[in-house]
Amino acid sequence: MSEFIDDLLWRGLIQDSTDLDELRKHLDSGQVTFYVGFDPTAPSLHLGHLMQVLTARRLQLAGHRPLLLVGGATGQIGDPRESSERNLNPPEVVAGWVDKIREQVRPFVTYAGDNAATLVNNLDWTGSMSAISFLRDVGKHFPVNKMLAREVVRARLESGISFTEFSYQLLQSHDYFELHQRHGCTLQFGGSDQWGNITAGVDYIRRRGGGPVHAFVTPLVTKADGTKFGKTEGASVWLDPQLTSPYAFYQFWLNTDDRDVASYLRYFSFRSHGELEELERATAERPGAREAQRALAAELTTLVHGAAETEQVLAASQALFGRGSLAELEASTLRSALAEAGLVEVRGELPTVAALFRDSGLVGSLNEARRAITEGGAYVNNERVSDVEATVPADALLHGRFLVLRRGKRTFAGVERVS
């Protein structure tokens, strides 16, 4: 079992731990019940959460028992940020997000067998606590000087931090205690930004006579170009396909910088060390082929959205560049792909192909569009257009509403006719 810890270290998945040698012994001693938590601060998890979801999967595959906590209580409070106070969402909104996120994490682990996963909600034990019992039973175990020493709290002392956010550490620590009491949980992990909260929970359990318990945190994922991981064009990449389409999700991974792809494969992929090292060599020797990015994108899209959606995404990636049938793509996949490239809406009769090229932004003017047609570089639904005055018949619309415009080999855009 020590090989499991060695694997996590090789992948760079342990940034800090309470005691790595003791954690090794603990995991070697038999099945361990562990937990990781997700606060419902939005209707979906995003890529920033994916490392924790997949690390839970790794632990279960190694024989350990997951408790996946969705914070119906802590989600109403909000972990303090360094920048400013969080907006408090209405309890009914948080409750709806809890249900969505519970369903979102469900497919990543198994709920059968000796190490079956359990979904838990911290509102179940926190919601019934009175203020007096919370202060007497929980608050008395937390030295304020230690709470003030937490980095994010220190950063907010000058600008101000509410007692609500200041108390978040107590709630998360109490979660660990309750799961230790109720389920025999002896390991918590999370992102490195949670280190202060997690170690506070370890200390809280000790102060209440429990333990020993353990903890580790995974690193903050960064991008070599300085932009934030999990963002594309400033927007979060969500796990919910309604918020980020499987096509856009695939494209995010496919566009990974060569400087980042090796570490992302180690963090997120379930391939063997040998396979990952071969992909790293491929990136160094044949960067233009983007073998590592393609492997990463296909594996992660399949894990999050399923094999069928990945097949559609791969088919779309081929068909949009003339290497497959556009007619065989599902309407949702086609629209998602075109939306990523640039999708212009047209009402009523379709204008000329030249006008569509101009309106879609593929060219800057009608004259430029006509020149592209004359030179043989204009395509509609992968068919070359040769007539500068050509129009598109209504029956050429894919799914009765879409056109794929392509200029040259690699630049394309979409048209959607709306009523």
Give tens-digit pLDDT for 293-339: 999 999 999 999 999 999 999 999 889 888 889 989 999 999 999 99
What is the rounded CA–CA span in Å between residue 220 and residue 117?
Answer: 26
pLDDT at residue 364 tops 90: yes
Pick the range with the lowest mean pLDDT from 76-80, 362-366, 388-392: 76-80
What is the rounded CA–CA span in Å between residue 272 and residue 147?
Answer: 41
Look up the pTM and report it: 0.90
* Strand 378-380 to 402-407 pairing: antiparallel
* Strands (DSSP E) found in 193-323: 214-218, 231-232, 235-236
**What is the reported pLDDT for 237?**
95
pLDDT at residue 1 tops 60: no
Q: Cβ(287)–Cβ(220) under 8 Å?
A: no
Alpha carbon separation from 78 to 95, 168, 399 (Å, rounded): 14, 7, 44
DSSP letter at 135 equals: I
**Residue-wise burial string across 277-301, b where 16 or more C-beta atoms lie within 10 A, e elsewhere:** eebbebbeeeeeebbbbbbbbbbbb
**What is the reported pLDDT for 82?**
67
Pick the range with the lowest mean pLDDT from 152-156, 179-183, 247-251, 404-408: 152-156
Which of 381, 384, 377 minimizes the C-alpha distance to 404? 381
**According to DSSP H, which parts of 106-213 are helical?**
123-126, 131-133, 144-148, 151-156, 163-166, 168-183, 195-207
Number of H helices, E strands in the chain: 19, 13
pLDDT at residue 48 tops 70: yes
Looking at residues 276-290, what average pLDDT do you find? Answer: 96
What is the rounded CA–CA span in Å between residue 403 and residue 410?
Answer: 16
Give tens-digit pLDDT for 188-238: 999 998 999 999 999 999 999 998 999 999 999 999 988 889 887 778 999
pLDDT band of 178, cuts 50, 70, 90 = very high
Q: Cβ(36)–Cβ(228) under 8 Å?
A: no
Looking at residues 275-301, what average pLDDT do you find? Answer: 97
Looking at residues 29-52, what average pLDDT do you find? Answer: 95
Tokens linked to 324: 């497959």
pLDDT at residue 84 tops 80: no
Give tens-digit pLDDT for 261-274: 999 999 999 999 99
pLDDT band of 2, cuts 50, 70, 90 = low
Q: Cβ(109)–Cβ(175) under 8 Å?
A: no
At residue 246, the 3 state secondary structure works out as: helix
* Strands (DSSP E) found in 357-418: 378-380, 383-384, 402-407, 411-418
pLDDT at residue 80 tops 80: no
**Mean pLDDT, rounded, of the chain:** 92
